[in-house]
Each structure stands twice: as C-alpha cells, then as structure tokens.
A and B are shown apart, each in its own frame.
Chain A
Amino acid sequence: MRHIYLDYAAATPTDPKVLKAMQPYFCDIAANPSSFHAAGLRAKEAVAGARETIASCLNCAETEILFTSGGTESDNLALFGIVRRYADKGRHVITSAIEHYAVLEPLKHLQKTGAIELTILPVDRFGCVDIKDVEKNLRPDTILVSLMFANNEIGTLLPIAEIGKIILKWRKKNATGDAGSGCAGFPYFHTDACQAAGVYDLDVEKLHVDALSFSGSKIYGPKGTGCLYLRRGVSLEPLQFGGGQERGLRSGTENVPGIVGLAAAMQVANSKREKENARLSVLRDRLIEGLLAIPKTHLNGHPAKRLPNNANVSFLDIEGEAAVLYLDAKGIYCSTGSACASASLDPSHVILATGLSYEAAHGSLRFSLGRATTAKDVEYILSVMPNVVKKLRAMSPVNLDMKHFA
C-alpha cells in the first residue's frame, strides 16, 4: 500500500543532513557547554555556531537568540515573560482569535488570573486580521501584541510586517519607554512563526517584531527544539531558574545536538525555500481544485494569502475523524478540525472564528504538503477522496444546506 504523509503542519521528518549534523553531539562531543575543560569548550562552540547561523537567518545579533524546547515554550516564555516583567508599564494585551493554543492558553490564563486585560481580535471569513482593528485597539497601557505569522490549521498569512510598522509608528508617537534601549515605548510585538519558519524570510528588521517563536519540528529539524528571538533591550521574567544559561532567561543545560540540528534545519530550509515554495504551491492549488470539485465543499482559509503547503477543505454532512480514518486505511495521512479528533472534544476554534458553523467545522480536513509530496500523490488523493466522501455521506443522516458556507 502507498503511504502518503500529508501532515507536515503537525510534524516534519528530520532532514538527513540535519541528522548528520547532530550525530557527533550525542556521544563524541557530549560535554556540558558550561564546563571549563576542552570537551566542554567544544560543546560551547557548537552552540555558539548554531546561534550564529540562526542569527544570520533572522538578521539579528546572536545575543538576541534564546534556545528553548519548542514552539510552545517559546510562546509561553515570550508572553508570560514580557507580561510579568513589565507589569508596572501596562496590562493590556492584544491577540487574535485564530492563534495557536500555545499563545491563546497562556494569555487566557493571564486574563483569568487578573494579570492582563485581553483583547482578542476577530478575523474575517478567510481568517485574516484587519490591520485597522489592531490600530484601533492599541491603548496607552497596551504592553504586548501577539499575532501569528501563518495559521497552522487554515494556512492564512497575517500581514506581520505591516502590523509591525503600525505598532512602531504608534510607539514613537506615544513613546513612554526608555528611548535609548532601541525599543522606545510599548507595546512590544511578538509573532508565532512556527508555521512560517523555513517557508518565509524571517528577517526581524523587515518584520518589525520584538519577539518571534519557531520550532525545529516544523522545519525538518529535531522535535523538542525551539527558538525565541528577543530584541535587544526587551527583557523578560524567566519561567525557569537555575544555572543561568541563555543569559539567565532560560536556565537548563543546553540541548546541544538539538540546537545544532535546529540551526542545520534552518539552513537547509532556507536554501530550498524558493524552489520548494513554488513547487508546493502548484501541488496545493491542484489539490484544492480537485477537492472543491466534490459537491458541498468549502475552502477554509484565504485562496491566495496562504501557506504554499496548506489545503483545508470542509465537506458537509460528514464528520472529519471518520474521514481521516477512512483515508488512513488508504494510506493517506491527514488531520481534521473535528471535535471528535481533538482531546478537548471541541471543533476547531480557528474554523469557527472564520464564521463557519459547528457542522462545517466538524467536516474539515487539513492536508499539509511537504518535501516528499509529488504530483502523483495529489492525483492519488483525488482518486480516493470522492469515494470516501460518498460512502460517509451515504451513512450520514444529515443533509445540510450549503448556507452553512454562506
């Protein structure tokens, strides 16, 4: 049976080059980078080299890079860290309704415990945040804005650079902070770039962000690795204390092989980016076109402003988990926004935020393409999908109106 993995937005396989780069750091160069001997020095140099690589990819200084255990930790560290560090400067935070749980949950926790006032910006039917909405909601006590670069479920891209510019302008006008620090005034701007890393340019100067998160698991790097860019002058209160690693902001012995792998993955991804994006966009468009040819379907996310590897379609009258399992039996691995497939038993908050009904959210499937995906794979999916939908619809007592997609 064929095995077609179409869940790259969930996890990517580690690139062989990355694995090779990591290899020496498990046994041969296994000392603690904090140790004062030659072996320790070699490990320290490896971490420094990785930091340099990532800094050059982000167009920032090495001291602005913090290594973490993944996207979730990077997001938590940025959000909790900044909110707590600057609690006396303001307590209003802005985010959007389609953020990953790694952003929404920390912020909701801070809101619940009374640490912040939270504004959750709505999105339009494509999942886009209105730039004017960001501007309108900025307040003198806004301490932080956190908006994602690219959405993990529906692939919609948010105009981070433009929003960054607006925040900068607002900050200059209302400067209250330390002008000499290079980040005069608030709010600071954080972006969760986990899905965008390796796909788009993460030049932090062009993006005008003060903090940016990404992880290794989505860029063909090792799982359990991540990075938080933190602009010089922006401080945060650590989440964990100990040996003072990562400038005291993230204590804990460095995951040397992981850090080396993360940097190697970033390098490989950047070298392949342009060609791969062009190749994947064609496959994505063909897949979307073919899926939408099935009756009673709807594209989730923006038709153009979307990740080159993301196709997310809702099929009315069927439930996503059942479809995922039927496709699984055919060797096709994808995911769904249906409640039945989530630990929380809630349908996708992202698809609901775009204004679709619960019914339509339950019937959504996400296919995320990657390096191994071929045109043949796409045609195979398109040959299998209509029958899966037909079979499940025949079993379904539901016959919903297309108004669910209005």
Chain B
Amino acid sequence: MTPHITNSSEEARKGDVVSNSKDKGWFYSDIVKEHFFHPQNFMEDEAAYEDSAMGMVGSPACGDAMRVWIVVDPATEKITDMKWKTFGCGSAIASTSILSVMATENGGLTLSQARALRPQDIMERLGGLPARKVHCSVLGDKALRSAINDWYRRAGRHEDVQVEAGRIIDKILKITDHDIEEAVLDGATTLEAVQQKIKVGTGDTTCIPEVEQLIRFYREKYFGADSKK
C-alpha cells in the first residue's frame, strides 16, 4: 500500500476530519485500524514488569496519556521487550502499538536507535494519519525516550540520561519549544491555533504566557515582524 503521510503545512492547516487514504472510505488507514482493533504488546500484567524501566507522557485531562515499559539487554543495549498502556483515541492507541513493534522487531532497536525515532517514523509505518491527529496523538516516541532515560538511571549510568531535545515548556504534555516552533511553521500563528494542533497548556496552564511569547518569537522569525497577530 502507498503510505499517505501528512506533513504538508497546507493539509495540517485545514484541521480536517478526513483520512488521507481517501480511497478507503474510513477515517484511519488499514494499518491504524489493525493496530487499534488488535493492539500488540499492550501491558496486561504490570506486576511482572515492576522492575522494568518505565516512561510516561501526557495526562487524561488533555485526552491522551501513555505509559511504556522496556526490557533491555545490558550487553547489546537492545530493547528485547516493550509493553504499553494508552488512554486516548484510535490513533493514539494504534501509534503506541506500532511503536512497540518497531522497537522490538528484528532483534530489537538499540537504545540509541530507539532514541532517534520520531513521530514521522511512526506515522510512516501507520500509513499516514488524519492531519489533525498528528501532533496530539503521536506521543509514544516521547514516552519511549523517557523510559530509556529511566533504564539508564536504574543502571546507575546517569551520564547517559538525555534531557528532551529542546526545552520542555508544557511539563504535563512534555511539549518543547521545538514542538511550538513546528506548529508555527505549520501555519498556527495564534495561541488558539497552536493549541488546536498540539493542545499545549491544556493540562499545564501556567505555561501559557511563555507559549504566547514563543509563538510571537517564531512568528516574527518566520513570517516577519509585522505578520498578523
């Protein structure tokens, strides 16, 4: 099947509710559907993973919350097992499911490979997502990075713990200044528009003044000082 990946700013701006796979007549691609209805590797026995490294992102108030557990072979630093739990919509569940497959297939990714995974990689494997779902529901890579840090921490290798690329602005959703920059580049030039895309500040409202400042900064950077406010 041809993957339909939504990344053009024009499509993202529409805030549409249609699948990009217009020929299929369903909201989500077949791969999304498959992982939504038959999720892989979801956590069924938390007690058995008590000692495993764990990472989480989001909050139910924002509509999406994820938790992932990883088992890593210390010798190869490859992920041998990954389990997850997700509160969220169809694409949130499917994207965590496929991420767990990507992390563990073919002998598993090394921690540094896993750290390099981006939402775009997950979307590509899913065969694309409806535009308005992209920024909010693909959070799994963040949860995974947070679990990887936890693994290093548990291994006493604090020097290998990496803080999120970019500075975290929204502590609950782990949204960085970089995420806000991307949203502005996608055409969201007001707080409302940026929130519509990435929900920043819905859980952690204290960050809103800073978010507004950043939006102004990136808007002026990319669209000029007298661009519309």
Q: Which residues of A contact B (CB under 8 A)?
A: 317-319, 321-322, 325-326, 329, 338-341, 343-345, 347, 357-359, 362, 394-398, 400
- Write out the residue numbers on chain A whose beta carbons fall within 8 Å of the beta carbon of B43: 397
Q: Tell which of B37, B87, B132 touches A319, judged by Cβ atoms closer than 8 Å.
A: B87
- Write out the residue numbers on chain B whose beta carbons fall within 8 Å of the beta carbon of A338: 63, 89
B residues 59-83 in Cβ contact with A at 8 Å: 60-67
Q: Tell which of A340, A343, A400 touches B88, judged by Cβ atoms closer than 8 Å.
A: A340
The complex places the Cα of A358 from the Cα of B93 at a distance, in Å, of 19
**With an 8 A cutoff between CB atoms, is B169 at the interface?**
no
B17:A347 contact, CB within 8 angstroms: no
B92:A395 contact, CB within 8 angstroms: no
**With an 8 A cutoff between CB atoms, is B5 at the interface?**
no
The complex places the Cα of A362 from the Cα of B136 at a distance, in Å, of 14
The complex places the Cα of A338 from the Cα of B137 at a distance, in Å, of 13
How close is B193's CB to chain A, nearest CB, in angstroms?
11
- Write out the residue numbers on chain A whose beta carbons fall within 8 Å of the beta carbon of B133: 340
The complex places the Cα of A239 from the Cα of B25 at a distance, in Å, of 36
Q: Tell which of A321, A329, A357, A398 touches B65, judged by Cβ atoms closer than 8 Å.
A: A398
Q: A343-B17, A345-B199, A398-B60 are in contact. Are A318 and B136 (CB under 8 A)?
A: no
- Write out the residue numbers on chain B whose beta carbons fall within 8 Å of the beta carbon of A343: 15-17, 132
**With an 8 A cutoff between CB atoms, is B90 at the interface?**
yes
With A362-B61, A397-B56, A397-B87 given, can you name 13 additional A-B contacts, CB distance below 8 Å? A317-B87, A318-B87, A319-B64, A319-B87, A321-B90, A322-B36, A338-B89, A358-B61, A358-B62, A359-B60, A362-B60, A396-B87, A398-B87
**With an 8 A cutoff between CB atoms, is B39 at the interface?**
yes
- Write out the residue numbers on chain A whose beta carbons fall within 8 Å of the beta carbon of B132: 343, 345
**With an 8 A cutoff between CB atoms, is B6 at the interface?**
no
Which residue in chain B gives the minimum CB-CB distance to A321?
B89
**With an 8 A cutoff between CB atoms, is B196 at the interface?**
yes
B93:A345 contact, CB within 8 angstroms: no
Q: Mark B29-51, 1 if CB is under 8 A from A, else 0.
A: 00000001101001110000000
- Write out the residue numbers on chain B whose beta carbons fall within 8 Å of the beta carbon of A345: 63, 132, 136, 195-196, 199
Majority secondary structure of chain B interface residues (helix, strand, loop or mixed): mixed
Instruction: Show 23 residue pairs from A and B whose CB-CB distance is below 8 angstroms, ordered by the A residue.
Output: A322-B36, A325-B36, A325-B90, A338-B89, A339-B63, A339-B199, A340-B133, A340-B137, A344-B196, A345-B196, A345-B199, A358-B63, A358-B202, A395-B42, A395-B85, A396-B87, A397-B43, A397-B65, A397-B66, A397-B85, A397-B86, A398-B60, A398-B87
The complex places the Cα of A322 from the Cα of B16 at a distance, in Å, of 18
Q: Mark B81-124, 1 if CB is under 8 A from A, else 0.
A: 00001111110110000000000000000000000000000000
The complex places the Cα of A20 from the Cα of B196 at a distance, in Å, of 43
Which residue in chain B gives the minimum CB-CB distance to A363?
B60
Which residue in chain A gives the minimum CB-CB distance to B56?
A397
B89:A396 contact, CB within 8 angstroms: no
B89:A340 contact, CB within 8 angstroms: yes
Which residue in chain A gives the minimum CB-CB distance to B36?
A325
The complex places the Cα of A222 from the Cα of B50 at a distance, in Å, of 58
B residues 124-167 in Cβ contact with A at 8 Å: 132-133, 136-137
Which residue in chain B gives the minimum CB-CB distance to A393?
B87
How close is B54's CB to chain A, nearest CB, in angstroms?
10
A396:B62 contact, CB within 8 angstroms: no
How close is A339's CB to chain B, nearest CB, in angstroms?
4
- Write out the residue numbers on chain A whose beta carbons fall within 8 Å of the beta carbon of B89: 319, 321-322, 325, 338, 340-341
Which residue in chain A gives the minimum CB-CB distance to B136?
A345
- Write out the residue numbers on chain B whose beta carbons fall within 8 Å of the beta carbon of A339: 62-63, 199
Q: A345-B199, A396-B86 are in contact. Are A357 and B61 (CB under 8 A)?
A: yes
- Write out the residue numbers on chain B whose beta carbons fall within 8 Å of the beta carbon of A357: 61
- Write out the residue numbers on chain A whose beta carbons fall within 8 Å of the beta carbon of B64: 319, 340
How close is A330's CB to chain B, nearest CB, in angstroms?
11
- Write out the residue numbers on chain A whose beta carbons fall within 8 Å of the beta carbon of B66: 397
- Write out the residue numbers on chain B whose beta carbons fall within 8 Å of the beta carbon of A322: 36, 88-90, 92-93
Q: A325-B36, A343-B132, A394-B44 are in contact. Are A362 and B86 (CB under 8 A)?
A: no
How close is A214's CB to chain B, nearest CB, in angstroms?
26
The complex places the Cα of A208 from the Cα of B184 at a distance, in Å, of 49
Q: Tell which of B17, B36, B67, B196 touches A397, judged by Cβ atoms closer than 8 Å.
A: B67
Interface centre among A317, A358, A397 (most CB of B within 10 A): A397
- Write out the residue numbers on chain A whose beta carbons fall within 8 Å of the beta carbon of B39: 395
The complex places the Cα of A397 from the Cα of B65 at a distance, in Å, of 7
Q: Which 9 A-B pairs have the closest CB atoms?
A: A340-B89, A397-B85, A321-B89, A397-B67, A358-B61, A359-B60, A396-B87, A398-B87, A339-B63
How close is A94's CB to chain B, nearest CB, in angstroms?
25
Which residue in chain B gives the minimum CB-CB distance to A344?
B196
- Write out the residue numbers on chain A whose beta carbons fall within 8 Å of the beta carbon of B44: 394
How close is A358's CB to chain B, nearest CB, in angstroms?
4
The complex places the Cα of A317 from the Cα of B65 at a distance, in Å, of 10
How close is A201's CB to chain B, nearest CB, in angstroms?
36
How close is A84's CB to chain B, nearest CB, in angstroms?
26
- Write out the residue numbers on chain A whose beta carbons fall within 8 Å of the beta carbon of B62: 339, 358
- Write out the residue numbers on chain A whose beta carbons fall within 8 Å of the beta carbon of B90: 321-322, 325
The complex places the Cα of A329 from the Cα of B137 at a distance, in Å, of 21
B37:A329 contact, CB within 8 angstroms: yes
How close is B185's CB to chain A, nearest CB, in angstroms?
19
- Write out the residue numbers on chain A whose beta carbons fall within 8 Å of the beta carbon of B63: 319, 338-340, 345, 347, 358, 362
Which residue in chain B gives the minimum CB-CB distance to A391?
B39
How close is B102's CB to chain A, nearest CB, in angstroms?
18
Interface centre among A339, A345, A358, A362 (most CB of B within 10 A): A345
- Write out the residue numbers on chain B whose beta carbons fall within 8 Å of the beta carbon of A344: 196
Which residue in chain A gives the minimum CB-CB distance to B46?
A397
How close is A352's CB to chain B, nearest CB, in angstroms?
11
